[in-house]
Structure 1
Amino acid sequence: MRKPELAAAIAEKAELSKDKANEVLNVVLDEITSAVAKNDSVALIGFGTFSVRERSARMGKNPQTGEAMEIPASKTVGFKPGKKLKDAVDG
């Protein structure tokens, strides 16, 4: 499912126009993005938690030359699914 399909599903279930549902979806995604960018975690009970994760520096290989190179430390976004989401996936 892509973003337009998700917005259409929200519009149908919440009895909103597609434009309004798309606007709501964009606001939710923007708020999650800004919170995680500020190093806050976002917990959606039953769904999961978005948080910042630190990756330490490590050695890797240049795929073109095979030469060893250091990959610098970085930050990434992690997602830990909630119980309700895990149960839905397990079926």
Structure 2
Amino acid sequence: MAKPMTKTQLVAALAEEMGADKKAAGAALDAITAIITREVSAGGAVTLPGVGKIYCRERPERMVRNPATGEQFKKEADKVVKMTIAKALKDSVNG
């Protein structure tokens, strides 16, 4: 498996794709990240066309087990961020 792209590499690739400088590409990436964070933390969802949908899901209170000790305890309800991958991206990876 290849190493994940770092933010610096992503900004450089974005700048090249946009035909802009790295400062503008970095600002665009930061703005997109802020919008996604704000929307998902407020309980909404964001669809990135061709990539997928990012959303927040609530998990109910449940019993969990500590694997080290085997002790069971109740875990409070919480929220988790999920992402559903778009069919176009799946097809491009598999095809």
Once the two structures are superposed, the pairs formed by residues 1-91 of structure 1 within 5 Å of their partners are 1-91=5-95
What percent identity do the matched residue pairs reach? 40
Length-normalised TM-score, structure 2: 0.87
Consecutive unaligned residues of structure 1, counting only runs of 5 or more, are none
Q: Name the SS of the counterpart of 1:4 in structure 2.
A: helix
Aligned letter for 1:60?
V
Count of aligned residue pairs for this structure pair: 91
Q: Distance in 2 between matches of 1:63 and 1:15?
A: 51
- Aligned-CA RMSD value: 1.2
Length-normalised TM-score, structure 1: 0.90
